[in-house]
């Protein structure tokens, strides 16, 4: 199921909210866990059992690591004090063996279901073999929930979190429907406490409702419409001839807007839903398109993924503490992994490596040079490379990416402009202007300035009215439009 659907909004959500409110405190996790399984099974009626297996395996391995550690140190960890504990406690070889087993199992599941087809296809190509492709559809959200489960296992071994002895609470953490299929990637330590003890208030629910509706509007009103422009631009070329340079740029700009509003809208909806149920999820996007360097961009884009890789790959590899050369290797490794995490295809690997190269260049000299440049130039530089990266990202494969880049640069032999390009330009100029303003903090600043003079009650009324308007307008779009794509089926 996806949030931006009538079934979620008017069948699933009201029932779950009602059951959750009615359930006694001790039963609330069970309601969330069951709801999450139903939510997942709606789109993946078979793979829900794979997710249950993953939850059960990680739960048992967690208990077993905990026993091995406890047998070693005899220091019972308590729920509240765990975050203060520093350093690795996992000196026990038994615990270490179980950690390796758990990581291997998680990566094997991810590797098999996500990368087997890609691996076999390339093996066949390279060695001239004919191994049959298992041709498995990718289980939705497997990259997200596997990474969440791994954060628990690794932090448990490091002594950073306490063991979760309740299967329902652990299952709720891994399968929690708000962030299950498109993030944010919530590390166990972030919500470990709230899993067992969290407070609910109408004020918190209000914040959640406002945040959720804002995300819904971003997804349904902005991202879907931008996506339709992208599709139209990409389909404009006739058979054989490429699309025009103008259409290619309109297409890549539309995708730039689509992916931001879609992805950050999803995160807003997830954070808002979490807030309704008493959770505080980490922020995932922070106006990435105002960045003045690629380094800054990646501090603002998909923040929870970058921090996951920093915490569990970059720092364990030595981070920046073992000299520049090793640091560059670590950056390269992280970005190759980041790329391939987004999908089992060469263009994603290229996309990740492209950012790795830019980040290394910025680290070595570019950032210093940029600091002397005017802010506008820094922004243009950043957005140019970000937008070009989306051309590679949005393609189905490497040759599609190459064709897109050729169209953008005018090397494809397509015309400079064509009817479709001109039509899309005049038809969506106002919409694009709104999108660009919407991707900056301007609307929020404007609201703060305008509402500053209002009495509290009036501000609350305006907020509520705005929320109702966005919700109803989103419903109008959902009812009338068949175009509602889900972009993360390859993640």
| Residue numbers at the binding site for other proteins (CB under 8 A) | 1, 5-7, 9-11, 13-14, 17-18, 42-46, 201-203, 205-207, 209-210, 212-213, 228, 232, 235-236, 238-239, 419-420, 422-423, 426-431, 434, 456-457, 459-461, 463-464, 467-468, 471-473, 475-481, 483
Q: Which of 184, 193, 143 is nearest to 164 (CA)?
A: 193
- Measured CA to CA in angstroms, residue 423 lies from 233, 236, 244, 246, 410 at distances of 10, 11, 13, 11, 19
Residues 6 or more apart in contact with residue 441 via CB below 8 angstroms: 287, 290
Q: Can the peptide bond before residue 184 be classed as cis, meaning omega within 30 degrees of 0? A: yes
Looking at residue 364, the DSSP 8-state letter turns out to be I
Q: What is the smallest separation between the CB atom of 333 and other proteins, expressed in angstroms?
A: 37
Looking at residue 396, the DSSP 8-state letter turns out to be S
Q: What is the smallest separation between the CB atom of 208 and other proteins, expressed in angstroms?
A: 8
Q: Is 342 a catalytic residue?
A: yes
Which ranges in 235-278 belong to alpha helices (H)?
245-276
Q: Yes or no: say if 20 and 489 are a contact pair by the CB < 8 Å rule.
A: no
Q: What is the smallest separation between the CB atom of 45 and other proteins, expressed in angstroms?
A: 5
What value, to the nearest 5°, has the Cα angle with vertex 29 and ends 28 and 34?
105
Token digits of residue 98: 């179980």
Token digits of residue 280: 């505080």
What value, to the nearest 5°, has the Cα angle with vertex 285 and ends 283 and 290?
140
Instruction: Return d(Cα 486, Cα 484) in angstroms, integer.
Output: 7
417 three-state secondary structure? coil
- Measured CA to CA in angstroms, residue 57 lies from 109, 147, 171, 392 at distances of 11, 14, 11, 37
Q: Which of 115, 108, 61, 65 is nearest to 88 (CA)?
A: 65
Q: Yes or no: say if 311 and 334 are a contact pair by the CB < 8 Å rule.
A: no
- Measured CA to CA in angstroms, residue 118 lies from 146, 270, 344, 435 at distances of 19, 30, 6, 35
Q: What is the smallest separation between the CB atom of 14 and other proteins, expressed in angstroms?
A: 5
Token digits of residue 175: 């399968």
Catalytic residue among 200, 342, 379, 428: 342
Q: Which of 222, 280, 279, 282 is nearest to 255 (CA)?
A: 222
Active site residues: 342
């Amino acid at each position: 199921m996806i949030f931006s659907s009538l079934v979620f909004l008017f069948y699933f959500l009201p029932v779950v909210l009602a059951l959750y409110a009615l359930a006694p405190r001790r039963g609330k996790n069970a309601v969330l866990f069951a709801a999450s399984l139903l939510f997942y099974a709606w789109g993946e009626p078979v793979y829900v059992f794979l997710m249950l297996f993953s939850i059960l395996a990680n739960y048992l391995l967690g208990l077993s690591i905990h026993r091995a550690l406890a047998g070693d140190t005899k220091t019972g960890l308590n729920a509240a004090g765990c975050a203060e504990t520093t350093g690795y406690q996992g000196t026990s070889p038994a615990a270490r063996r179980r950690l390796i087993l758990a990581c291997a199992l998680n990566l094997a599941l991810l590797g098999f279901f996500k990368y087997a087809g890609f691996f076999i296809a390339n093996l066949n190509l390279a060695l001239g073999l004919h191994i049959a492709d298992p041709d498995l559809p990718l289980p939705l959200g497997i990259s997200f929930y596997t990474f969440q489960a791994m954060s628990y296992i690794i932090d448990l071994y490091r002594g950073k979190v306490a063991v979760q002895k309740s299967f329902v609470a652990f299952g709720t953490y891994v399968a929690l429907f708000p962030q299950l299929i498109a993030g944010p990637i919530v590390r166990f330590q972030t919500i470990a406490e709230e899993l067992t003890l969290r407070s609910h208030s109408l004020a918190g629910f209000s914040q959640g409702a406002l945040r959720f509706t804002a995300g819904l509007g971003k997804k349904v009103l902005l991202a879907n419409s931008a996506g339709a422009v992208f599709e139209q631009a990409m389909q404009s070329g006739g058979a054989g001839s490429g699309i025009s340079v103008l259409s290619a740029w309109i297409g890549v700009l539309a995708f730039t807007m689509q992916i931001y509003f879609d992805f950050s809208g999803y995160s807003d909806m997830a954070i808002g839903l979490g807030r309704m149920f008493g959770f505080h999820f980490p922020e995932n996007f922070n106006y990435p398109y105002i960045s003045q360097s690629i380094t800054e961009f990646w501090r603002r884009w998909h923040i929870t993924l970058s921090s996951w890789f920093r915490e569990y790959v970059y720092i364990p590899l030595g981070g920046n503490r073992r000299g520049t050369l090793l640091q560059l290797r670590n950056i390269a490794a992280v970005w190759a992994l980041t790329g391939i995490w987004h999908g089992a295809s060469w263009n994603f690997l290229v996309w990740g490596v492209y950012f790795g190269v830019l980040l290394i260049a910025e680290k070595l000299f570019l950032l210093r040079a940029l600091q002397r440049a005017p802010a506008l130039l820094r922004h243009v530089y950043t957005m140019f490379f970000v937008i070009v990266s989306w051309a590679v990202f949005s393609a189905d494969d490497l040759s599609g990416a190459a064709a897109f880049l050729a169209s953008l640069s005018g090397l494809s032999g397509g015309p400079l402009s064509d009817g479709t390009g001109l039509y899309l330009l005049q038809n969506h100029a106002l919409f694009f202007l709104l999108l660009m303003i919407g991707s900056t903090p301007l609307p929020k600043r404007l609201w703060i300035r305008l509402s500053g003079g209002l009495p509290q009650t009036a501000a609350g009324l305006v907020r509520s009215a705005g929320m109702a308007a966005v919700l109803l307008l989103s419903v109008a779009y959902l009812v009338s439009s068949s175009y509602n794509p889900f972009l993360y089926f390859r993640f």
